Structure 1
Amino acid sequence: MAFPIKRIPRAGQKYRDSHSLKPRGSRLATAFILALAGCGDSGEHEQKGTLEAEGTQDPYLVQYLVGGSDFLSIHGSTFDRDDNFYAGSVMGQSIHKIDTSTGESSVFVGPPEGVADDLEFGPDGTLVWTSILNGKVFGRRPNGEIFLVADNLPGANAIAFHPSGRLFVTQVLWGDALWELDLTGKKGPRKVIENMGHLNGFDFDRDGYLYGPLLFKGKVVRIDVDSGELTTLATGFKIPVAVNLDNEDNLYVADTTLGRLVRIDIKTGDKTLVATVDPGIDNLSLNSRDELFITNMNDNAVYKINTRTGASRNIVRSELSVPGGLDIHTDELGIERVYLADLFTYSTVDGASGHVTDVKRALRDKFEMPMSINLQGDRLAITSWFTNAVEIYDRESHEVLATYHDFNFPVDAVLINEGEVLVAEQGSGSLLLVSGDHGEDREVVLDEMPGLAALRPGSRDDKVYVSDVIEGQLLEVDVDNGKTRVIAEGLDKPEGFDVAADGSIVLAEVGKQRLVRIDPDSGDISEIVKNLAIGLPPVDNTPAAYIQTGVGVSAAGNIYVTSDLNTALYKITPQ
């Protein structure tokens, strides 16, 4: 539940009679309906209708409020020589083989190696991909053997093969360079060019020239990979993210912010609009028949694009992409609304219908990619370890009131006083009290806690609850002096939690895939539900809790929990 900030304004027998003139089927149907309605025999032994059956029930009813997906975000894509389609899920740490006719999928490479931001098959059938989260490049030989191609490439992003079989990769965001890699491992990486404006998804023409988009310059360029010479081919893009060439060397370009697909004549640079879709395009690929497919990370989707008419068809899509932390607001009419950190979207969810509304979308709106949320009064503290930032929002207007940068993996935050926010900085294992116009003033309240996972306001104004996923503890910390009280220990990977109206703490124990209730005074632990699809292990060099399993409790006692294994949102209702 949301907490006010007290220091701030916070399926018979056959017979006939004079009335049996209807066909037998109709009589049976009528009898069935009457039975359901409870309007059957009214004699001495009255019968109940089927709908009046008492049944049995568990203490809690577990349902999906928002259904899930096989994917935890979709990014890079490619086809093999047999026109099988593959897509990479960075946060899901998996490469999936997807039937583009049915949308059915299977895992081709699973965690932890399958962190694929971009991927491509080589001439001999070897699949290569980039792991942007840890700066590595991996390969999978046709016999299934997985091997490391290169490491120490922060922001390793786009990857493609030259017609001759040479392999090239770019660094983006956490670097800005184009490299040639030796797939055999006999030679070290060769830097082709750097500081060109963040070259993303690229492709080669039949003559061996590289074509690609410069993310931060809004243009498409051609590069001679031997000399490093760069030439501008076309401009007029907002954020171009990927290109691909068809069999006739027509160049297709995806502009993610504008949701535009454009075709470019590589001889003249002339542009033709192909399609307009929702913002958030991540990648595109063409099969041997020049059928075009795009991925959209916001929609967790793959779409097929008709390049003649501009029409699109869903192959796969889900309402959520990377659901993480959440909090609940209940209005004066008892209507519950979930505020959800979905990484590539900041969303709200109707607690009754499950309808999802995207408030902000990545690569359309300017905001930090949200991974945890604390709602306090009319303010929201939203945290992202993906962009190392904390933002304060107005709950009603969704206006960003303040943004603080330059953290080392912030995993959660709680508002303390006006102008002060307590940040759980997992990278340093510290609780930081942050203040100042730009968050420049930072005081260490507590350190040596590398297992920091989630925060909620504590039992008093000057206290906060903290979960430690490594130590298996739930703590209460005094913000004024850093003193801690262990509420519960021996927990198996505790992550997100919330405080119920009665003061008890409802917590996701992801190591046991269950939800528990903890008495904050005695530390007694009782199980609420189990066998939840939660607990995806982290990638190397990411926070220990990885994607926070969000937990929120409404004023009425309804519990909402995010699923990182099913990309879904549970609603758990007391019965």
Structure 2
Amino acid sequence: MKHTIKLKALFSALLATLALSSCGTDTETSKGLLEADGSKDPYLVQYLVPGSDFLSIHGITFDKDDNIYAGSVLGQSIHKIDTLTGESTVFVGPPQGMADDLEFGPDGTLVWTSILTGQVHARRPNGEIYLVADKLPGINSVAFSPSGRLFVTQVLWGDALWELDLAGHKPPRKVIENMGHLNGFDFDKDGYLYGPLLYKGKVVKIDVDSGDMTTLASGFKIPVAVNLDSHDNLYVADTALGRMLRVDIKSGEKTLVATVEPGIDNLALNSRDELYITNMNDNALLKIHTRTGAARTVVRSDISVPGGLDLIEADGKETLLLGNLFTYSAIDGASGAVTDIKRGLRDHFELPMSVNIRGERVVVTSWFTSGVEILDRNSHQSLAVHHGFQQPVDALELVDGTLLVAEHGTGSILEVSADGDREVLVDGLPGIAALRQGSDEDSVYATDVLKGQLLEIDDNGDIDIIAEGLERPEGFDVAADGSIVLAEVGKLRIVRIDPNSGEISEIARNLAIGLAPAQGTPPGYIQTGVVVSRAGNIYVSSDLNTAIYKITPQ
């Protein structure tokens, strides 16, 4: 009864406060609550697209207690995930935690592969982490045989199956090579290996002692991973079609289990034969009902690896184009709604990590694929593709059609003609991170993340230092007034730079930006993208929170 009286009194007081707005008095206390002036910062910082703990999810595995662990390559971390709530904790953090695939051994030791560094790591039950193997480019999948022997495969940058000695006493043994890129594999009770060949659309059976390989089943578009349940039913993920299938290991007969969005990366079964899969495009972990095909989302986010971005403004609407690595995405600048234009492992495109728009053409760049692609802004059709660069981090087109490519591998900016001829415009820039059009049509602005500089480079390759002393400057954009809005990730902030005086003023601080690069990757790593609309709205990609910020002047 006392609680009821107190609540009634509080409610009556609130109504009275709101009602005072119509009383005609001018004092602060007589204003209605909704008419209070409050206070303002110069800029309002909000999430346009909320984030995730993961920078794309890849391999998954269960421990003996049916706890699930997920690996992230670009996030360089392994997470333990509560499959009921979706909450996660970091089990192994950057940089050692880069995991494309992972599995627990018989004694509880966790082993994982780091595809970008070519390394295999292990974590003993006491928490000690050590290096198992090195110098294996494209190291990808890992599994233990029933007898506890450890096997790994190379794909993309290699094509081989290896046996490793977890104790490090014996050198790696190559079991078989040039199979067609054997990906996520598993063993049956008799010790035979089953796995998918990415480039051949088959699932094969391998004798790991002799290296003999036979085809079990075919008719897949891009099979990426398999797992066996406790009854030796083989589950196969066909990523390009978003299909999960069950294959009889005796007859090779296939049965559809579920259909989801394309982009499946891995799968795992717990001790109850419950099936979980990951989707790298959607940054998702799903539980699949193997009888009905129903999928329950454990975790998911609208974006997975947000990098460079640019902006289309038309009819009062602001639309972002985002280099999201495994997807090429459009984002509504008002609602934050994300639309996938292209999806990895479904569509043919260079996996984009930076975006620059000129007129009706969009230039996307990917150091992951060493490619630069030009797309039609409206139809999104590919107009040209250039390969063979050494870790290109950004690119843009000049008015005359010349393509400028910032190449980290050589520390240079290249001029690329329509015919594909390449010349060095300027070199000696190993820290180059991002490009935008300069103060005139023949110049370009660039950031150097290692030297802490914002540069302007003319068509002769002459360099003018606009600002220096910055801590890890990455993505930026030129505002309508000519000032430069830049992500200074070393200080977790966005700043404005006067290109004439070099004066720096802070816009926003304490942002989740600036993930440290992995070994052997460009120093700008996942570009912190920045773009500014004519109205002054600033959009920023977050590689630490897998999110998009919107910063609005007040």
* TM-score grouping bracket, smaller chain normalisation: over 0.9
Mapped to 2, the partners of 1:351 and 1:417 lie a distance apart of 27
Range moving further from structure 2, 289-298 or 182-191: 182-191
Aligned-residue offset at 1:336: 0.7
Aligned position for 1:489: 468
Letter in 1 for 2:161: L
Counterpart in the other structure of 2:353: 371
Say if 2:25 and 2:31, in contact at 8 Å, map to a contact too: no
Residues 354-365 of structure 1 mapped to structure 2, 5 A cutoff: 354-365=336-347
Q: Deviations over 1:237-275 (max 9, x none)?
A: 000000000000000000001000000110111111000
1:248-287 to structure 2, matched below 5 A, reads: 248-287=231-270
2:512 aligned with 1:556: no
Cα distance change on mapping 1:49 and 1:205 into 2, 3 Å: same
Work out the CA distance in 2 between the residues paired with 1:24 and 1:493.
Answer: 55
| TM-aligned CA deviation for residue 38 of structure 1 | 5.8
Q: What letter matches 1:390 in structure 2?
A: V
What is aligned with 2:72? 89
Structure 1 length as normaliser, TM-score? 0.93
Of the structure 1 ranges 392-401 and 121-130, higher mean CA displacement relative to structure 2 is found in: 392-401
SS of aligned partner of 1:211: strand
Contact 1:71 1:300 in 2 (8 A): yes
Contact 1:40 1:47 in 2 (8 A): no
Residue pairs, 1:70-469, within 5 angstroms: 70-331=53-314, 333-437=315-419, 439=420, 441-469=421-449
Between the two proteins, what is the percent identity of the paired residues? 71
Q: Secondary structure at the match of 1:257?
A: helix
The CA distance in 2 between the partners of 1:492 and 1:106, in whole Å, is 29
Residue identity matched to 1:463: S
Cα distance in structure 1, aligned partners of 2:447 and 2:6: 65
AA aligned opposite 1:569: I
1:457 maps to a residue whose letter is Q
| Contact map agreement 1:38 1:51 (CA 8 A) in 2 | no
What is the DSSP-based 3-state SS (H/G/I as helix, E as strand, rest coil) of the residue aligned with 2:241? coil
Alignment partners' CA distance in 2, 1:349 and 1:567: 14
Amino acid at match of 2:153: T
Distance apart, 1:459 and its partner CA = 0.5
For 1:91-145, what per-residue CA distance to the aligned partner results, in whole angstroms no more than 9, with x for missing partners? 0000000011111100000000000000000001000000001111000011101
Partner residue in 2 for 1:18:
none
| Residues 468 and 495, structure 1, Cα contact 8 Å, conserved in 2 | yes
CA drift of 1:47 comes to 2.4
CA distance in 2, matches of 1:187, 1:32: 75
Q: Tell me the equivalent position of 2:457.
A: 477
Q: Deviations over 1:222-244 (max 9, x none)?
A: 00001110100001100000000
Say which of 483, 487, 492 aligns to 1:504.
483
- CA gap of 1:51–1:119, structure 2 versus 1, over 3 A, is same
Q: What is the Cα deviation at residue 186 of structure 1?
A: 1.1
Contact residue 158 and residue 201 of structure 1 kept, 8 A: yes
2:520 matches 1:520: no
Q: Which residue of 2 aligns with 1:19?
A: none
CA 1:478–1:84: 2 relative to 1, 3 Å: same
Cα gap change, 1:399 to 1:124, in 2 (>3 Å): same
Question: How far apart are the structure 2 equivalents of 1:27 and 1:542?
Answer: 62
Q: What is the alpha-carbon distance in structure 2 between the residues aligned to residue 115 and residue 244 of structure 1? A: 22
> How far apart are residue 303 of structure 1 and its match?
0.2
Counterpart residue identity of residue 317, structure 2: I
| Aligned position for 1:543 | 522
Q: Distance in 1 between matches of 2:474 and 2:354?
A: 11
Q: Which has the higher contact order (CA 8 A, sep 6+)?
A: 1
1:375 CA drift (Å): 1.1
> Over residues 142-190 of structure 1, what are the superposed CA-to-partner deviations in whole Å (9 max), with x where a residue is unaligned?
1101000001100000000011111100000000110111111111111
CA contact (8 A) 2:230 2:273 kept: yes
CA-CA distance at 1:551 after TM superposition: 0.3
Equivalent pairs counted in the alignment come to: 549
State the distance in 2 between where 1:48 and 1:426 align.
59
Q: Is the 8 A contact 1:34 1:40 kept in 2?
A: no
- The residue type paired with residue 201 of structure 2 is G
Q: Secondary structure at the match of 2:152?
A: strand
Residue deviations 1:404-460 (CA, integer Å, cap 9, x gap): 0011000000102444200000111010001244x2x10000111100100000001
Superposed CA deviations along residues 368-400 of structure 1, whole A, max 9, x for unmatched, are 100000111111110000000001111111111
Task: Provide, for residues 48-75 of structure 1, a one-character-per-residue CA deviation record: whole Å limited to 9, x for no partner.
Answer: 1111100001000000000000000000
Question: Are the counterparts in 2 of residues 177 and 195 from structure 1 also a CA contact under 8 Å?
Answer: yes
User: 1:13 matched to which residue of 2?
Assistant: none
**Partners of 1:232 and 1:368 in 2: how far apart?**
31
Q: Which amino acid aligns with 2:48?
A: L
CA drift at 1:42: 4.2
- Change over 3 Å in CA distance of 1:38–1:568 after alignment to 2: farther
Q: Tell me, what secondary structure is at the counterpart of 2:221?
A: coil
SS of 1:511's partner is: helix
Q: How many angstroms apart in 1 are the aligned matches of 2:23 and 2:513?
A: 49
Distance 1:35 1:42 in 2: 13
Instruction: For residue 37 of structure 1, report the CA deviation from its aligned partner.
Output: 6.7
> What is the aligned partner in structure 2 of residue 8 from structure 1?
none
Q: Distance in 2 between matches of 1:284 and 1:44?
A: 65
Aligned equivalents of 1:94, 1:511: Cα separation in 2: 21
**Matching of residue 56 in structure 1 with residue 39 in structure 2:** yes
